[in-house]
Protein backbone atom coordinates (compact mmCIF):
# COMPACT_ATOMS: atom_id res chain seq x y z
CA UNK A 1 0.00 0.00 0.00
CA UNK A 2 1.44 3.40 -0.94
CA UNK A 3 1.60 6.40 1.37
CA UNK A 4 -1.16 8.16 -0.57
CA UNK A 5 -3.73 5.48 0.06
CA UNK A 6 -5.43 3.85 3.02
CA UNK A 7 -7.41 0.66 3.14
CA UNK A 8 -10.83 1.23 4.63
CA UNK A 9 -11.56 -2.51 4.80
CA UNK A 10 -15.04 -2.41 3.30
CA UNK A 11 -14.55 -1.23 -0.27
CA UNK A 12 -10.83 -1.75 -0.84
CA UNK A 13 -8.45 1.08 -1.49
CA UNK A 14 -9.43 4.71 -0.97
CA UNK A 15 -7.29 7.29 -2.72
CA UNK A 16 -6.53 10.59 -0.99
CA UNK A 17 -6.85 12.36 -4.32
CA UNK A 18 -10.41 11.16 -4.92
CA UNK A 19 -11.82 11.68 -1.43
CA UNK A 20 -9.56 13.97 0.61
CA UNK A 21 -12.24 15.00 3.13
CA UNK A 22 -13.18 11.38 3.85
CA UNK A 23 -9.52 10.48 4.20
CA UNK A 24 -8.86 13.34 6.63
CA UNK A 25 -12.01 12.44 8.58
CA UNK A 26 -10.81 8.85 8.85
CA UNK A 27 -7.41 10.05 10.07
CA UNK A 28 -9.01 12.32 12.67
CA UNK A 29 -11.21 9.44 13.83
CA UNK A 30 -8.16 7.20 14.21
CA UNK A 31 -6.35 9.94 16.13
CA UNK A 32 -9.23 10.22 18.62
CA UNK A 33 -9.21 6.45 19.11
CA UNK A 34 -5.56 6.51 20.22
CA UNK A 35 -4.30 7.20 23.73
CA UNK A 36 -2.09 10.28 23.41
CA UNK A 37 0.08 9.38 26.39
CA UNK A 38 1.17 6.01 24.98
CA UNK A 39 1.11 6.69 21.22
CA UNK A 40 2.93 10.02 20.99
CA UNK A 41 4.89 9.20 17.81
CA UNK A 42 1.79 7.77 16.12
CA UNK A 43 -0.12 10.96 16.94
CA UNK A 44 2.65 13.08 15.37
CA UNK A 45 2.63 10.94 12.23
CA UNK A 46 -1.15 11.22 11.94
CA UNK A 47 -0.91 15.02 12.39
CA UNK A 48 1.68 15.20 9.61
CA UNK A 49 -0.47 13.04 7.34
CA UNK A 50 -3.54 15.21 8.03
CA UNK A 51 -1.54 18.33 7.16
CA UNK A 52 -0.18 16.68 4.01
CA UNK A 53 -3.65 15.50 2.94
CA UNK A 54 -5.16 18.94 3.50
CA UNK A 55 -2.44 20.52 1.35
CA UNK A 56 -2.90 18.21 -1.66
CA UNK A 57 -4.51 21.09 -3.59
CA UNK A 58 -1.30 23.12 -3.42
CA UNK A 59 1.82 22.44 -5.43
CA UNK A 60 4.30 20.02 -3.89
CA UNK A 61 7.09 21.72 -1.97
CA UNK A 62 10.45 21.91 -3.65
CA UNK A 63 13.52 20.71 -1.81
CA UNK A 64 15.35 23.87 -2.90
CA UNK A 65 14.67 27.57 -2.49
CA UNK A 66 15.23 29.95 -5.39
CA UNK A 67 16.61 33.07 -3.71
CA UNK A 68 17.52 34.79 -6.97
CA UNK A 69 13.90 35.36 -7.91
CA UNK A 70 11.46 37.30 -5.81
CA UNK A 71 8.90 34.52 -5.99
CA UNK A 72 7.11 34.50 -2.61
CA UNK A 73 6.97 31.38 -0.46
CA UNK A 74 4.65 30.51 2.40
CA UNK A 75 6.25 29.51 5.70
CA UNK A 76 4.09 28.16 8.49
CA UNK A 77 5.17 27.35 12.01
CA UNK A 78 3.23 26.09 15.03
CA UNK A 79 4.29 27.55 18.38
CA UNK A 80 3.20 25.66 21.47
CA UNK A 81 1.47 27.66 24.20
CA UNK A 82 2.62 26.48 27.66
CA UNK A 83 -0.94 26.03 28.91
CA UNK A 84 -0.19 22.65 30.51
CA UNK A 85 2.77 24.03 32.48
CA UNK A 86 0.74 27.05 33.65
CA UNK A 87 -2.93 25.94 33.66
CA UNK A 88 -4.18 28.93 35.66
CA UNK A 89 -2.77 31.56 33.30
CA UNK A 90 -4.94 32.91 30.47
CA UNK A 91 -2.53 32.89 27.52
CA UNK A 92 -5.33 33.28 24.95
CA UNK A 93 -6.53 36.44 26.67
CA UNK A 94 -3.00 37.84 26.82
CA UNK A 95 -2.38 37.04 23.15
CA UNK A 96 -5.66 38.55 21.99
CA UNK A 97 -5.72 41.57 24.29
CA UNK A 98 -8.70 43.93 24.49
CA UNK A 99 -10.93 43.43 21.43
CA UNK A 100 -8.19 41.36 19.77
CA UNK A 101 -6.00 44.45 19.37
CA UNK A 102 -2.80 42.84 20.70
CA UNK A 103 -2.88 40.02 18.16
CA UNK A 104 -3.80 42.40 15.34
CA UNK A 105 -0.92 44.72 16.28
CA UNK A 106 1.47 41.76 16.53
CA UNK A 107 0.44 40.61 13.04
CA UNK A 108 0.90 44.11 11.61
CA UNK A 109 4.30 44.61 13.27
CA UNK A 110 5.68 41.24 12.14
CA UNK A 111 3.88 41.22 8.75
CA UNK A 112 2.64 37.67 9.37
CA UNK A 113 -0.72 35.99 9.87
CA UNK A 114 -1.38 34.40 13.26
CA UNK A 115 -4.12 32.12 14.50
CA UNK A 116 -4.67 30.68 17.97
CA UNK A 117 -5.64 27.04 17.46
CA UNK A 118 -5.98 23.81 19.43
CA UNK A 119 -7.69 22.76 22.66
CA UNK A 120 -8.86 25.80 24.60
CA UNK A 121 -8.73 28.18 21.64
CA UNK A 122 -12.51 28.67 21.59
CA UNK A 123 -14.38 30.58 24.27
CA UNK A 124 -17.36 28.21 24.37
CA UNK A 125 -16.16 24.81 25.66
CA UNK A 126 -19.38 22.98 24.72
CA UNK A 127 -19.17 24.26 21.15
CA UNK A 128 -15.47 23.30 21.03
CA UNK A 129 -16.28 19.74 22.17
CA UNK A 130 -19.08 19.55 19.60
CA UNK A 131 -16.77 20.72 16.80
CA UNK A 132 -14.02 18.33 17.91
CA UNK A 133 -16.40 15.36 17.87
CA UNK A 134 -17.86 16.34 14.47
CA UNK A 135 -14.65 15.04 12.81
CA UNK A 136 -14.89 17.87 10.28
CA UNK A 137 -11.39 18.42 8.80
CA UNK A 138 -11.85 22.16 9.30
CA UNK A 139 -11.80 21.60 13.07
CA UNK A 140 -9.01 18.98 13.15
CA UNK A 141 -6.79 21.52 14.93
CA UNK A 142 -8.98 21.16 18.04
CA UNK A 143 -7.42 17.73 18.62
CA UNK A 144 -3.97 19.36 18.94
CA UNK A 145 -2.56 21.10 21.98
CA UNK A 146 -3.08 24.86 22.28
CA UNK A 147 -0.75 26.59 19.82
CA UNK A 148 -0.28 29.69 17.69
CA UNK A 149 0.08 29.13 13.96
CA UNK A 150 2.30 31.77 12.35
CA UNK A 151 2.36 32.14 8.55
CA UNK A 152 4.70 34.36 6.55
CA UNK A 153 4.24 34.93 2.80
CA UNK A 154 7.15 36.73 1.17
CA UNK A 155 10.34 36.13 -0.84
CA UNK A 156 12.48 33.47 0.93
CA UNK A 157 14.93 35.68 2.86
CA UNK A 158 12.21 38.08 3.93
CA UNK A 159 9.81 35.26 4.87
CA UNK A 160 12.36 33.66 7.19
CA UNK A 161 13.20 37.07 8.70
CA UNK A 162 9.51 37.81 9.32
CA UNK A 163 9.00 34.40 10.89
CA UNK A 164 12.05 34.87 13.15
CA UNK A 165 10.82 38.31 14.24
CA UNK A 166 7.32 36.94 14.89
CA UNK A 167 8.74 34.14 17.06
CA UNK A 168 10.80 36.61 19.09
CA UNK A 169 7.76 38.85 19.63
CA UNK A 170 5.44 35.93 20.43
CA UNK A 171 7.83 34.68 23.09
CA UNK A 172 7.13 37.84 25.13
CA UNK A 173 3.42 36.97 25.18
CA UNK A 174 4.05 33.40 26.34
CA UNK A 175 5.67 34.41 29.64
CA UNK A 176 3.08 33.88 32.41
CA UNK A 177 3.45 37.22 34.21
CA UNK A 178 0.37 39.25 35.17
CA UNK A 179 2.31 42.47 35.75
CA UNK A 180 4.64 42.62 32.77
CA UNK A 181 4.73 45.50 30.31
CA UNK A 182 2.33 43.78 27.87
CA UNK A 183 -0.33 43.24 30.55
CA UNK A 184 0.02 46.84 31.77
CA UNK A 185 -0.42 48.20 28.23
CA UNK A 186 -3.50 46.00 27.76
CA UNK A 187 -4.96 47.29 31.05
CA UNK A 188 -4.45 50.88 29.86
CA UNK A 189 -6.28 50.09 26.59
CA UNK A 190 -9.34 48.89 28.48
Answer whether 26's CB lies under 8 Å from 53's CB.
no
CATH number at residue 102: 3.30.1370.10
Residue 184 has a pLDDT of 66
pLDDT score, position 150: 95
My answer on whether 74 and 55 are in the same domain is no
CA–chain centroid gap for 118, Å, is 7
The boundaries of the domain holding residue 45 are 1-59
Structure confidence at residue 138 (pLDDT)? 76
Q: Can you give the pLDDT at residue 105?
A: 93
Which of 59, 81, 109 is the endpoint of a domain? Answer: 59
122 and 42 both lie in a single domain: no
Residue 64 within any structural domain of the chain: no
Regarding whether 92 and 156 lie in a shared domain, the answer is: yes
C-beta of residue 50 within 8 angstroms of C-beta of residue 20: no
User: For residue 190, what are the contacts with CB-CB under 8 A and spacing of at least 6?
Assistant: 98
Q: Which residue positions in the chain have pLDDT lower than 50?
A: 1-18
Instruction: Please state the domain count of the chain.
Output: 2
User: 116: Cβ–Cβ under 8 A, 6 or more apart, which residues?
Assistant: 81, 92, 95, 96, 103, 146, 147, 148
Amino acid sequence: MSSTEINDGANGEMSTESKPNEYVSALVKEKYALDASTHLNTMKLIDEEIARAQNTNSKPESAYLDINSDKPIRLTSKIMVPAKEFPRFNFVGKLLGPKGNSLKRLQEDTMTKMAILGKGSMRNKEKEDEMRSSLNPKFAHLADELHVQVTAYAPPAEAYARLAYALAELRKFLIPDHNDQISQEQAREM
